[in-house]
Amino acid sequence: MIKVAVTGAAGRMGKTLIEALSQTDKAVLTVALEHPSSSLLGADAGECAGVGRLGVAIGSDLASAADFDVLIDFTAPAATIVNAEFCVAQGKAIVIGTTGFDADQQAALATALAGMPAVMAANYSVGVNLCFKLTKMATEVMADHADIEIIEAHHRHKVDAPSGTALKLGQVVADAAGRDLEKVAVYGREGQTGARDQQTIGFATVRAGDVVGDHTVLFADDGERVEITHKASSRMAFASGAVRAALWVSHQASGLYDMQDVLGLH
């Protein structure tokens, strides 16, 4: 039985992670954490998640919560880096679903993750990770002639744009097409933009309502279009994948893995 800690336990994703953990007999929630200012500190994590009393009180201090094997972290970049450093020091594995890291934070995180078992992915949905694989295949066939655009939509509360998943899809396209994403990415268009450069990779972002997460990679050539689309209807798709990653990484040697490793899609 794998012991799991969940950060952001009273948030939307945290509650769904706790629900997903309650549905497996291979892992158990032993630590639930929230921001020190949360009004739910001390509350039972299971009751907050709607799965019944689990006997795990929501706390705020990871340093005093050593009773876990794997930490699942869907928080904010600065908090994730601190949590990763703690896991390294304590010999714990970590599953990271946080997005929105800038270049300096990415470098700090890479340093923190050295020498520990860690999974870091832009998206933990099994379907999305299959789309990464399909996007690579489609790019290898169509990139020389098709215009490639990535369209994503999320709920009004999401704070980073484009989404980590959209950026990952863009990187998959760029790698498969032999392009430098930093040089060819176009993030939105306005005014007299001129004719489209076929080498560019376009991104379009929608933020509205309670959209859980929609992503489409569009390959448009003369006379035909191919669209690879994933639509999430529940955060459970991401939570179940993250729990699957936690179970997997708990048995791995030190190294930085992604969800493609977990699913054997490389």
What are the residue ranges of CATH 3.30.360.10 in the chain? 126-232
CA distances from 142 to 112, 148, 151, 159, 170 (A): 38, 9, 18, 33, 15
Assigned token pair, 43: 């509350």
Active site residue 15: no
Closest CA relative to residue 138, chosen from 222, 231, 217, 224: 217
The whole-number pLDDT of residue 218 equals: 98
What are the residue ranges of CATH 3.40.50.720 in the chain? 2-120+235-263
The third-level CATH classification (topology) of the domain covering 2-120+235-263 is Rossmann fold (3.40.50)
CA torsion sign for 127, 129, 135, 137 is negative
CA neighbours closer than 13 Å in the CB half-sphere of residue 156: 3
What is the amino acid identity at position 95? V
The model's pTM: 0.84
The residue annotated as part of the active site, out of 3, 133, 136, 158, is: 158
CA distance 169 to 216: 9
The residue annotated as part of the active site, out of 92, 154, 168, 230, is: 154
Architecture of domain 126-232: 2-Layer Sandwich (3.30)
Phi, psi torsion values for 86, nearest 5 degrees:
-65, -45
Per-residue 3-state assignment (H helix, E strand, C coil) for 108-177: HHHHHHCCCEEEECCCCCHHHHHHHHHHHHHHHHHCCCCEEEEEEEECCCCCCCCCHHHHHHHHHHHHHH
The whole-number pLDDT of residue 182 equals: 96
Q: Give me the residues paired with residue 71 across strands.
A: 5, 94
- Mention every residue, 6+ apart, whose C-beta is less than 8 A from residue 84: 73, 94, 96, 109, 112, 113, 118
The whole-number pLDDT of residue 111 equals: 84
Q: pLDDT means per 10 residues in the chain (266 residues)?
A: 96 96 97 95 97 96 89 94 93 94 88 89 94 97 98 95 95 98 96 96 98 97 98 95 98 93 91
Closest CA relative to residue 12, chosen from 170, 177, 213: 213
Active site residue 26: no
CA distance 147 to 219: 6
CA distances from 92 to 4, 88, 246 (A): 10, 6, 11
The whole-number pLDDT of residue 114 equals: 81
